[in-house]
Amino acid sequence: MTHQFPTLSEAQKRELHETALRIVSPGKGILAADESVGSMAKRLAQVGVENTEENRRQYRQILFSADDRVSGCIGGIIFFHETLYQNSDTGIPFVKMIRDRGILVGIKVDKGVVPLAGTFGETTTQGLDGLSDRCAQYKKDGAVFAKWRCVLKVSETNPSTLAITENANVLARYSSICQQHGIVPIIEPEILPDGDHDLKRSQCITEKVLTAVYKAMSDHHVYLEGTLLKPNMVTSGHSCSTKYGPEEVAMATVTALRRTVPPAVTGVAFLSGGQSEEEATVHLNAINNCPLAKPWILSFSFGRALQASALRAWRGHKENEKGATEQFIKKAEANSLASQGKYTGGDNNYTDAGQRSYGSCHAY
């Protein structure tokens, strides 16, 4: 184990690193449009639209038809398998539409969560079987990055050591396989916000989970510069009675990352979890204004937080398409600003006075 049997050539490393840099180049983040058929059912039901393949195609088309304004805000879009092979109304493959805008194509490659027997409702994620061959094919079909989601939850007993170790390991196996095929793995160890735990507890757990993730990455010889991290922000549980301001969320989040994510990781693109569009943007902005040194890019990989308004504006009606696309573009621009700490919409206004309210990191 102390001999290096090179996993990647210099050229392969360079390709992976450059891809990662392009996805999170300054001002850019990721649109997570990879909702599975089941997840899309939930989204479409909310606006009274039937969950057919055609409706899913129409909906994604609304997002992908955004004009050049998104080229400076979106570095990559994560696709679901079905979408990778769909075309626009005029017969143009979605992959081509996206790439023509200079946006990189990503693909969700996991096959959902499965239970861990002997735990209290905990899971791991499946999808490793034949993953190497699938990655090779996805690369041919235009994808240059991938995403795999693991899920952990907080309760009196959770997350257990087994859940942390098993999910970290499966994320590392997935990453290792992706890199062999020139695909940048986005590593997503999501800790759900369900529960009444406070900010401190969330931070403690996030630190333990991320430490395990990066130990596993090291054990599996993953090339960190050619990866991206997609973590939860550190927030209190949904049912926690204490409310925390954006600066507290930001300080807890950045502190946790500084203690666990090696500087070699090219970028951190947060998931929005259960946050509203505005909440997610304000938090991302506060994170980028946090006065602690942050050696990675801190951006977004949002699903609902980029699409909610667009979905509501569309409601399945063709005449609403342009308006819906416009909603998406607005959110993309807002989050682009937030990823640079320059978002001034909503209730926040980050002047020097604003920075002082972050508080001391010693309390975290």
Partner 1 sequence: MTHQFPSLSPEQKKELSDIAQRIVAPGKGILAADESTGTMGKRLEKIKVENSEENRRYFRDLLFSTDPSISNCVGGIIFFHETLYQKSDSGKLFPQVIKDKGIVVGIKVDKGTAGLNGTDGETTTQGLDGLSERCAQYKKDGCDFAKWRCVLKISDSCPTSVAIAENANVLARYASICQQNGLVPIVEPEILPDGTHDLLRCQYVTEKVLAAVYKALSDHHVYLEGTLLKPNMVTAGQSCAKKFTPQEVAMATVTALRRTVPASVPGICFLSGGQSEEEASLNLNAINQVPLNRPWKLSFSYGRALQASALAAWQGKTANKAAAQEAFCSRAKINGLASKGEYKASGSADQASMKSLFSASYIY
Q: Which sequence positions are flagged as catalytic?
A: 188, 230
Residue pair 241/196 in contact by the 8 Å Cβ criterion: yes
Cβ at position 312, least distance to partner 1 in Å: 37
Candidate ranges 53-61, 134-142, 244-252, 253-261; the one touching partner 1 (CB under 8 A): 253-261
Amino acid (1-letter code) at residue 2: T
Tell whether residue 4 is a contact of partner 1 (CB under 8 A).
yes
Tell whether residue 362 is a contact of partner 1 (CB under 8 A).
yes
Is the N-terminal amide bond of 26 cis, ω within 30° of 0? no
Tell whether residue 361 is a contact of partner 1 (CB under 8 A).
yes
Cβ at position 136, least distance to partner 1 in Å: 23
| β-pair partners for 104 | 76
Tell whether residue 240 is a contact of partner 1 (CB under 8 A).
no
Nearest to partner 1 of 15, 279 (CB atom):
15
Residue pair 318/61 in contact by the 8 Å Cβ criterion: no
Of 161, 241, 319, 347, which one interacts with partner 1 (CB under 8 A)? 161
Nearest to partner 1 of 136, 264 (CB atom):
264
Nearest to partner 1 of 200, 317 (CB atom):
200
| Binding residues with partner 1: total (CB under 8 A) | 43
Residue pair 186/301 in contact by the 8 Å Cβ criterion: yes
**Per the structure block, which two tokens stand in for 194?**
């369900």
Nearest to partner 1 of 13, 99 (CB atom):
13
Of 35, 166, 207, 248, which one interacts with partner 1 (CB under 8 A)? 207
Cβ at position 328, least distance to partner 1 in Å: 33
Using alpha carbons only, what angle is made at residue 333 by residues 327 and 336, rounded to the nearest 5 degrees? 140
Tell whether residue 40 is a contact of partner 1 (CB under 8 A).
no
Pairing of strands 123-125, 113-115: antiparallel
Of 158, 272, 289, 327, which one interacts with partner 1 (CB under 8 A)? 158
Of 244, 264, 321, 326, which one interacts with partner 1 (CB under 8 A)? 264
Residue pair 289/29 in contact by the 8 Å Cβ criterion: no
Site string for partner 1, 52-81 (x = CB under 8 A): ------------------------------
Number of other CB atoms surrounding residue 342 within 10 Å: 13
Tell whether residue 154 is a contact of partner 1 (CB under 8 A).
yes
d(CA 17, CA 226): 4
Tell whether residue 291 is a contact of partner 1 (CB under 8 A).
no
User: Is the sign of the CA dihedral 42, 54, 315, 75 positive or negative?
Assistant: positive
Nearest to partner 1 of 255, 288 (CB atom):
255
d(CA 348, CA 283): 10
Candidate ranges 27-35, 139-147, 258-266, 267-275; the one touching partner 1 (CB under 8 A): 258-266
- Identify the DSSP state of 241: S
Number of other CB atoms surrounding residue 39 within 10 Å: 14
d(CA 74, CA 60): 15
Tell whether residue 241 is a contact of partner 1 (CB under 8 A).
no
Tell whether residue 309 is a contact of partner 1 (CB under 8 A).
no
Distance of CA 103 to the CA centre of its chain: 16
Number of other CB atoms surrounding residue 260 within 10 Å: 20
Residues forming contacts to partner 1 in the complex (CB under 8 A) are 1-4, 10, 13-14, 17, 154, 157-161, 200-201, 204-205, 207-208, 211-212, 214-215, 218-219, 224, 255, 257-264, 293-295, 360-363
